[in-house]
Amino acid sequence: MMNNALIFLQLMRRDMRVLSREFVGDLINAITWPGSLAITFGYVLPSVGMNQQYGTFLLVGALASTFFYLSLGMGSELVSDFCSMRCIDFYFTLPTSSYRFVLSYRVFSFAFHSVIISLPLLLIGKFILGSRMDLSQLSIIKLLLVVLLSGTFFGFFGLWLAAWIPTNRAFNSVWRRVYTPMQLLGCYWFSFFTGFKVFSYIACIALLNPLTYMCEGVRAAVMGQTEYLNFWLCLAVLIAYTIGFGWYAMHKLKRRLDLL
């Protein structure tokens, strides 16, 4: 256990150094989409009649969506590695207790990186929207809980993608078959209760989508509980999804990478 802890700390130290060098570029990449949303839906469209709070609504949801986007990059990188150099095999030569340590390290490294990149989006959004963005209901503790859990879930989600997608070319289909439906039907563009009013019980399909609980949980933490799914319910469901996707990814990758 002590040996695993020392190796984990050294690997995270290495990742932090890499992150510090690439932080500015990664942050610019992360804020391009939310920043554009804030300007378009916070200023331009309200001038022709749209509710000006919709810009805040989308920007806050973008915190959860950022994890999703980054996890696709992680999955694509792993699939590419599995099909070529297999640099990941270096990590399996480290004197750790099992292959699960290496895969878990990749998840927690991803979670750390994604949380550091996503949290500044809220401050940047406040800077862009000013008084149009109301943060009076913000709960820092709830926000940290949901973003940390979201980062962990999408770390395992990235492993899950890498576990069953055979080639990097096949990964291109993920954007159409996974990203698009999850994004459009995951309560990013609308709240669950709004969807339920419009589509009635058909909207309950969104309850099968983990992105729903991230978007609703983040909005409940930042904008208040009133119009969104219960925050603690969102956390509980995300924990269940994290366990499920994590178990499958570990089991499948052991076979795919031929790990003893």
Predicted local distance difference test score (pLDDT) of residue 152: 94
Q: How many residues can be counted in the chain?
A: 260
Predicted local distance difference test score (pLDDT) of residue 260: 61
DSSP-derived letter for residue 177 is I
Predicted local distance difference test score (pLDDT) of residue 97: 67
Q: Longest C-alpha distance within the chain, in Å?
A: 62
Q: Which helix (H) or strand (E) holds 128?
A: helix 120-129
| Surface-to-core class of residue 85, CB atoms within 10 Å of its CB (0-12 exposed, 13-18 middle, 19+ buried) | exposed
Q: Which helix (H) or strand (E) holds 108?
A: helix 99-118
Q: pTM value?
A: 0.89
Predicted local distance difference test score (pLDDT) of residue 126: 87
DSSP-derived letter for residue 202 is G
pLDDT single digits (tens) 24-83:
888 888 888 888 888 888 888 888 878 878 888 888 888 888 888 889 888 888 988 888
Q: Where are the domains of the chain?
A: 2-43+52-256
- Both tokens of 61, joined, read 């949801």
pLDDT band, very low/low/confident/very high, at 202 (cuts 50, 70, 90): confident
pLDDT single digits (tens) 144-179:
999 999 999 999 999 999 988 888 888 888 888 888
- In this predicted structure, the answer to whether residue 86 has a pLDDT above a threshold of 80 is yes
Q: What is the mean pLDDT of the chain?
A: 87
pLDDT single digits (tens) 99-132:
888 888 889 989 988 898 888 888 888 888 888 8
Predicted local distance difference test score (pLDDT) of residue 19: 81
Determine the Cα–Cα distance for residues 67 and 227; give it in Å rounded to an integer: 23
- In this predicted structure, the answer to whether residue 3 has a pLDDT above a threshold of 80 is no
- In this predicted structure, the answer to whether residue 201 has a pLDDT above a threshold of 80 is no
Which tops the pLDDT comparison, 84 or 228?
228
